[in-house]
Chains A and B, each alone.
Chain A
Amino acid sequence: MKPPRFAYYSPRTLPELLEVLEETGDEAVVLAGGQSLLPMLNLRLATPSHVIDLGRVPGLDSIASPNGSVEVGAMVTHRRMETDPIVAAVAPLAQRAAGYVGYLAIRNRGTVGGSVAHADPAAEWPIVLLALDGNVGLASSRGWRNVAAEDFFESVYTTARRPDEVVTSLRFSSRFAHSWGFSEFQRRTGDFATVAVAVACVVESGEVAEARVAIAGVADRPLRCREAESALTAGSASAAIDAAEAARDCIDPVSDIHGSSSFRKRLVYAETLRAVRQALTVNEAGIGDG
């Protein structure tokens, strides 16, 4: 289990990075924190001829809170998301989700940008992005663009990122800072989610004015479940159970070694119920720490 041979690039500026990306195109993979890429290299599931290391490119690790959002550089680690005060204040759902990523040693090195670019359908960041109405910032030598989370994730390990582009930032809306929930079924601490659910709501005068429910681990990409969202905004007294049932009924999960489709449906019910209850409780308590 040793990585295959590759050419290694360590650009020192963003323009240099974009130039290398343009030259290497589909032959290259981008190395961010490496916590998904290195296992794939060691297992030789990935055999790129070029590896481009973002580790020395400055300016990709800032956390800022421009109007109504939090913008996070692609190279920000899971650990920083877990501990950063701006994230805690503006996107507490993201803070909570960060703690579910792997182990501390993984969170110390793994990055948010690497995670969304990798697009593992069981990963946390994609559903946090979906739930927090987020988008992904991409750069190439042709320019910059933002892609809404819903358009970004296309399939297993496949995104809207073009070969010459690099993920530079993630942006999460802050309007859900008071009503959110995150629940994940892990077999063991640090395991990939079998199913994870992120819920973000806007509550106005005691009514759920907006709800977003995103689910990981059930399809080839993270899913938003609009039926569950409608159940939440419908305002019924049994909203949580309605939403959980709606989520369970509207998905057709994959089966694998960690659980059959029918088992995953039950997990979707359980974790949606828990995430929704948390979201509604967070709002009642009026605090953002869940």
Chain B
Amino acid sequence: MKADQAPRYFGARVSRRQDDRLLRGDGRYVADIKPAGVLAAKFMRSHQAHAAVTSIDIDAAGASEGVRAVFVGGDFADHEIRCVSSYAAFQESAQPILAVDRVRHVGEALIMVVAEDEYLAEDASELVVADLDPLPAAVNIDAALAVGFAPLHPGWRHNAFVRRQVKTYGFDDASSSAPHRVAIELHNGRHSGIPMENRACIAEHDRGTGQFRLHTTTQIPHLVRAGLSWALGVPESLIQVIAPDVGGGFGVKAQLYPEEVACCLAARQLGRPVKWVEDRREHFVAAHHSREHRHKVTGYFDNDGTILALQADIAVDMGAYSVFPWTATMDGGMAMGILPGPYRIREYSVASMSVCTNKTPYGAYRGVARPAACFSIERLMDQIARHLGVDRVEIRNRNLLTDGDYPWRSPSGLVYDSGSLIESLDAVVDLADLEGLLKCQADARAAGRLVGVGLAVFTEQTAHTTQEFKQRGVPIVFGYETAKVRLDASGTAVVSASIHDHGQGLETTLAQIAADRLGLDLEQVRVTYGDTEQVAYGAGTFASRSAVLAGGAVIRAADAVADTLREVAAHILEAAPEDMVVETGRVSVAGSPSQFIETSELCRLIYQRPERLPDGVEPRLEASRTYDAHPGTGAYTNAAHLASVEIDPLTGKTRVLSYAVVEDCGPMINPTIVEGQIFGGVAQGIGTALFEEFLYDEVGQPLSTTFADYLVPVMSDIPDFRVAHLQTPSPHTIGGLKGMGEGGAIAPGAVIASAVEDALSHLGAVTVDRLPLTPERVLGYIDAANSNGASA
């Protein structure tokens, strides 16, 4: 699938198509949309982690000014969200639209008030009196699994959604004969993507046609439609889902939420549009959480530090319900799969448990389980290096996969297609000037300061499709993406894609691809997405897949359109179709450049002068194609990160001084956009490493419910970045493309932990094993290092 001429836009740092409207304040986000007659919804939520709903008094709320309806659980009891894994022994949960007789987490919606405006709806919601009779709450993994703790859902045997276990045949021999072993236990704080735009939706119902229209802040409009169809009991043909401009997603908005179902039901009942705009306090307790993993990891290795076997025990705190469309198995399964990471590990034994607790349900966040997996394997590598007295770079070089290893079938069954692991590590050592950093560290230590350097290497499965998701047991297999390319009579193109762009720049990168294939100027291509009535069916944007899969689909569809251009041009120019070449602005005869027709003229003829078309050619320049990157096991991006930190020895406050990334995501469509994705991911990863955590008290009350208590990194917390690229193409994808949207967020936890540990290494040995590294925790590590150093 080769274009007729060298690309003009692929690989170019063109500025983004959507920027003008976003910069002018002309973006159109859900909260900006105001249909005539719209009502405002407000949800009153549980303030108990686990309780029986004994009584609810809505009389005062119903009588409050401007209130049009007050809904309780019983009103929507025929509807629920269920996401069932096909894994054996998976225990199902049913998430109610509004809680009926039981609440299972603080923030679970109990009551929906619909009023003339948000102010009045909130006034009324405060008048609801809900009597909740507290039950013992499963406030963490251990509490949920404690012997005798009652299962949280009816019919359950214990509080794990699922437990899985895998062991390679040779594991027992390899581990028992290994001369060395190191075991660590690692904790990752519960946190989430926290997009700057909260969730919002507007439901409309047309009584005449029976059709629903839902504007919503989602990354996955078609999947939301599918989920709504199941939850509402309405066929998809009667549901239109529109995701307009969306203010960041990061996985949080890749889910069907109960509020979306509730707004649809309320709009149908009231005959008026119902709009809900989440507030930030709700977002912290009702938009899904992520990242809370506990891993017990043991590495078995020989005298050189070659890993002989790896054992892992994974537990993830999934909160109260299995979420749609991911199920409650995603993080546990992903961590099982990717934990061996970029290393030549053949023997592996792993157990993974997805635990149900009385916390906000758990869903996707950029990187899904990979930050925790990277934290575990990279922390383990550092411990092995220390155990043997080997340099941290060297221990990795001894274990990293090399060219001869690909395709590598990992002990968990993943198939790594390609990579440049050692090269990326070498390159980041140079880019970051490791030697210079170590010199600075020595000077700093001499002056009594605590400076450390940390690094991590990882491989990232991206653009995995049918084959992979089939194995994950999800109810909908997210195999492919779709693109429709249409050239119109003006000679301009519309690309309609099943992905969604909420910052990733696909509106631009897909236009770059289409423009190249059709010989158009970038400005002549418009990319649309987000409206299920307007764009082709597909899964949406998540899992570092959109540029690869939608990009591949655009190439296929554009090439099909180009074929029609060639066929008609050949007819008009009286040449053979196979001799026609699509060039910039024209279609010409190969080897005879004076024989051509301008593309715009050709387009006009095709639509408006059908008598000039060859027999059998329809007057249509349009093609729709799907792309599923076979074999579906993913294209593997890899990267190496290296950072330096300084710790205030008196307060434990850790500052990132420098951060360098060498990333290999294959050929880049737009390197500036790639870098923007890397930087954004790394900054979120620095949040993972140093700041972000949903804390709960001993009875399950969330303590981080405002931006004063849940800390996201601000500009002064993040250093300037250095970035360099390698470009190893995937053998599996069109153009060799690999995904990269999540990668930046994967390594920083491991890197910063490594750097903090290094900063303390001259005081004494300590294992940094818990994120985020709050100042108080770091002081604890300093104390431990000092005490270990004194006793050593």
Contact = CB atoms under 8 A, between A and B. Distances in A.
| A contacting B, Cβ–Cβ less than 8 Å | yes
Nearest to A47: B126
Interface string A203-235: 000000000000000000000000000000000
Given A260-B776, A263-B779, A189 B716 contact: yes
Taking each of B122, B126, B716, B776, which has the highest tally of chain A beta carbons within 10 Å of its own beta carbon? B776
Interface in A185-209: 185, 187-192
Given A188-B711, A257-B695, A259-B776, A4 B651 contact: no
A180 interface: no
Interface residues of A, number: 24
Contacts of B695: 257
Contacts of B703: 257
B775 A187 contact: yes
Contacts of A257: 695, 703-704, 709
Contacts of B126: 4, 44
A43 B708 contact: no
A260 B695 CA distance: 14
A56 interface: no
B714 A188 contact: yes
A190 B779 contact: no
Contacts of A177: none
A152 interface: no
A32 interface: no
B123 A188 contact: no
Contact of A188 (B280, B651, B713): B713
A257 B774 CA distance: 11
Contact of A1 (B279, B713, B717): B279
A4 B123 contact: yes
Given A257-B709, A259-B776, A189 B714 contact: yes
Contacts of B714: 188-190
Contacts of B119: 2-3, 5
Interface in A77-92: none
B691 A187 contact: yes
B775 A263 contact: yes
A164 to B, nearest CB: 29
Nearest to B695: A257
A39 to B, nearest CB: 8
B177 interface: no
Interface string A1-37: 1111100000000000000000000000000000000
Contacts of A258: 709
A267 interface: yes
A118 B651 CA distance: 28
B653 interface: yes
Contact of B651 (A44, A190, A192, A266): A266
Interface in B679-731: 691, 695, 703-704, 706, 708-709, 711, 713-717
B281 interface: yes
Contact of A266 (B123, B650, B713): B650
Contacts of A127: none
Nearest to B198: A1
A2 B716 CA distance: 30
A191 B775 CA distance: 15
Interface in B646-682: 648, 650-651, 653
B706 A43 contact: yes
Given A188-B711, A263-B775, A263-B776, A269 B650 contact: yes
Nearest to B705: A43
Nearest to A1: B279
A284 B776 CA distance: 34
Interface string A238-269: 00000000000000000001111001001101
A185 B653 contact: yes
A273 interface: yes
A244 B126 CA distance: 47
B118 interface: yes
Nearest to B714: A188
A266 B280 CA distance: 33
Nearest to A190: B714
Nearest to B280: A1
Contacts of B280: 1
Given A185-B653, A192-B708, A266-B779, A5 B716 contact: no
Interface in B760-783: 775-776, 779
Contacts of B279: 1
Nearest to A195: B651
Interface in B88-133: 118-119, 122-123, 126
B118 to A, nearest CB: 6
A93 interface: no
B762 to A, nearest CB: 21
Contacts of B716: 188-189
A4 B709 CA distance: 23
Taking each of B118, B653, B695, B704, which has the highest tally of chain A beta carbons within 10 Å of its own beta carbon? B653
B277 to A, nearest CB: 10
A119 interface: no
Nearest to B776: A263
Nearest to B783: A266
Contacts of A188: 691, 711, 713-714, 716-717
Interface string A146-174: 00000000000000000000000000000
A277 to B, nearest CB: 12
B770 to A, nearest CB: 15
A263 B778 CA distance: 11
Given A187-B775, A190-B714, A270-B650, A43 B704 contact: no
A2 B281 contact: no
A187 B711 contact: yes
Contact of B650 (A43, A187, A273): A273
A43 B653 contact: no
A2 B122 contact: yes
B12 to A, nearest CB: 36
Contacts of A263: 775-776, 779
B212 to A, nearest CB: 28
B650 A5 contact: no
Nearest to A258: B709
A253 to B, nearest CB: 12
Nearest to A256: B703
A273 B650 CA distance: 10
7 contacts: A1-B281, A43-B281, A185-B653, A185-B775, A189-B716, A263-B779, A266-B779
Given A4-B126, A44-B122, 5 more contacts: A1-B122, A5-B119, A188-B717, A189-B714, A269-B650
Nearest 10 pairs of A and B residues by beta carbon: A270-B650, A1-B279, A263-B776, A189-B716, A2-B119, A257-B703, A270-B651, A188-B714, A2-B122, A257-B709
